[in-house]
Amino acid sequence: MLLSGRASITGISELPPQKDGRGLRTLDLLAQAARLAIQDAGLRKSDIDGLLVAPPSEDTAFMWPAQVAEYLQIFPASLNMVELGGASAVGCVNRAALLVAAGICRYCLCLSGGVWGTGVFNDRAGKSAVMSGAELEYELPYGPMGFNSGYALAARRHMHEYGTTPEQLAKIAVDQRRSALFNPLALFNQSALTIEEVLASPVIVDPIHLLEIVRPCSGAAAVVVSRTEAAPDTPQPRVAILGMGEACTHNSIVYAPGLTATPIALSAQKAFAMADVKPGDIDLVSLYDCYTITVLLTLEDAGFCPRGEGGHFVESTDLSFRGALPCNTHGGQLSCGQASYAGGMSHVIEAVRQLRGQAGERQVEGHRLAFVNGNGGVLSTQSSLVLGGD
């Protein structure tokens, strides 16, 4: 395959997520994350010749890549903003890999982050900001609750078709929390969680409980993608990009082909085919977890269990870092918080830590291959990666 292995992730950084966004600015967070990732890659800022940025939170998106490049005083041969919602971070890494494999760039910086203001998403203006014209005209009059209701529709349909239970979905959050207890960066790492506690938390949009929903926060994360042949002596163990895939079937979930079969299937298939591996070869997974149902649908559609059997699979499989299929060993967004678009980058970064053997107390034993998935909107845009350690 033309691309497989020609690009590597050689630098990562993740700022501690912050519950309180007051006084923070996205550009400052991005600069800090950029400095740390470039250091981690053993590069100088002047080496960076490609810039991929996820959209801003409070700033205007107009000319955002140039705004970021100006602040950082980086002068890239290629720069762009990737807007795929929650899949933007993986989307940045995918595009960086294309740029370095094509010989356009040698070292691409992928940046994501944002500042959480409490009003975002929850009031009418916040909701409207993430709705298309069609959604505003033909959905908002019926009172959708943004992403919450979209994923609730998917969860309800999955329960109806396959008998999936609230307990099975809750276990995903519980297993991820068991790993989060060993992640000092996680917002929620103080105590273990039980299925009973998840189900006792308020039902926000039936059948989704509060503890199955990400907590937005502020933060930033960065990744350096290097042309493999241009990075022979990186300070960190190299992580190769072996496969990638993307897919999209809808913007609003109302117009998705279905609620229980998602574009994740196609995106994952493409990534596995490029890497020439199967789901059974994968040692650990980092799956976008805005809600528990997202993880369950990803496990099914990416082929880690048959369609419809996700409930039984998560019930009978230890998903923690000690388990048979370690999933979101940093705790996922459900335990770490969702630092705007950097939430999706956290999945890439945790996979890299594991593949490098740098995950500390939560290190997975076998760590040769990882599958990463980014998901945007309500099961809309999908970006997948297969990563390989040395």
Partner 1 sequence: MPENYSDFFKEKCSQGELWLPYCPHCQKAFFYPRGHCPFCLEEGWQWMPASGRGKVYSYTIVRVSALDEFKEATPYVYALIDLEEGVRLASNVVNCPEELLQPDLPVKLTWVEREGRRLPVFTPVEGN
- 122 is an interface residue for partner 1 by CB under 8 A: yes
- 66 is an interface residue for partner 1 by CB under 8 A: no
* Residue of 73, 142, 232, 366 that binds partner 1 (CB under 8 A): 142
Choose between 35 and 250: whose C-beta lies nearer to partner 1: 250
* Residue of 137, 196, 229, 281 that binds partner 1 (CB under 8 A): 137
Choose between 123 and 276: whose C-beta lies nearer to partner 1: 123
Choose between 141 and 366: whose C-beta lies nearer to partner 1: 141
State the CB neighbour count (10 A cutoff) for residue 129.
10
Q: At what angle do helices 64-72 and 26-40 cross, to 10 degrees?
A: 60
Q: Sign (positive/negative) of CA torsion 56, 60, 62, 66?
A: negative
Residue with tokens 């940046």: 111
Q: Smallest distance, Å, CB 326 to partner 1?
A: 31
- 157 is an interface residue for partner 1 by CB under 8 A: yes
d(CA 376, CA 31): 25
Give, rounded to a whole angstrom, the gap between the first and last alpha carbons of the chain.
Answer: 19
Q: Which stretch binds partner 1 (CB under 8 A): 84-92, 157-165, 280-288, 314-322?
A: 157-165
Q: Smallest distance, Å, CB 134 to partner 1?
A: 5
Q: Smallest distance, Å, CB 138 to partner 1?
A: 5
- 207 is an interface residue for partner 1 by CB under 8 A: yes
Choose between 230 and 254: whose C-beta lies nearer to partner 1: 254
Within its chain, how far is the Cα of 96 from the centroid? 16
- 149 is an interface residue for partner 1 by CB under 8 A: yes
Choose between 248 and 273: whose C-beta lies nearer to partner 1: 248
Q: Smallest distance, Å, CB 116 to partner 1?
A: 16
| Cβ contacts of 216 within 8 Å, gap of 6 or more | 116, 120, 121, 337, 338, 339, 340
Q: Smallest distance, Å, CB 120 to partner 1?
A: 12
Q: Smallest distance, Å, CB 200 to partner 1?
A: 15
* Residue of 43, 82, 98, 152 that binds partner 1 (CB under 8 A): 152
Q: Which stretch binds partner 1 (CB under 8 A): 16-24, 130-138, 224-232, 274-282?
A: 130-138
Contact 186, 329 (CB under 8 A): no
The two tokens of residue 261 are 């079969």
Catalytic positions: 288, 341
- 318 is an interface residue for partner 1 by CB under 8 A: no
- 138 is an interface residue for partner 1 by CB under 8 A: yes
3 state DSSP class of 254: helix
Contact 154, 292 (CB under 8 A): no
Number of residues interacting with partner 1: please give it, by CB under 8 A.
31
* Residue of 103, 203, 229, 316 that binds partner 1 (CB under 8 A): 203
d(CA 327, CA 280): 14
User: Which residue in 190, 193, 209 sits closest to 201, CA to CA?
Assistant: 209
* Residue of 99, 120, 153, 268 that binds partner 1 (CB under 8 A): 153
* Residue of 139, 309, 315, 318 that binds partner 1 (CB under 8 A): 139
Q: Which stretch binds partner 1 (CB under 8 A): 20-28, 143-151, 321-329, 356-364?
A: 143-151
- Paired with 349 in beta bridges are none
- 160 is an interface residue for partner 1 by CB under 8 A: yes
- 154 is an interface residue for partner 1 by CB under 8 A: yes
Task: Mark 294-310 as b/e (b = at least 16 C-beta within 10 Å).
Answer: bbbbbbbbbbbbeebeb
What dihedral angle (degrees, nearest 10) is formed by the CA atoms of 17, 108, 350, 285?
Answer: 130
State the CB neighbour count (10 A cutoff) for residue 249.
16
User: Which residue in 185, 220, 222 sits closest to 27, CA to CA?
Assistant: 220
3 state DSSP class of 185: coil
* Residue of 2, 23, 73, 141 that binds partner 1 (CB under 8 A): 141
d(CA 89, CA 293): 20
- 145 is an interface residue for partner 1 by CB under 8 A: yes
Which residues contact partner 1 by CB under 8 A?
Answer: 122-124, 127, 134, 137-139, 141-145, 149, 152-154, 156-157, 160-161, 202-208, 254-255, 259
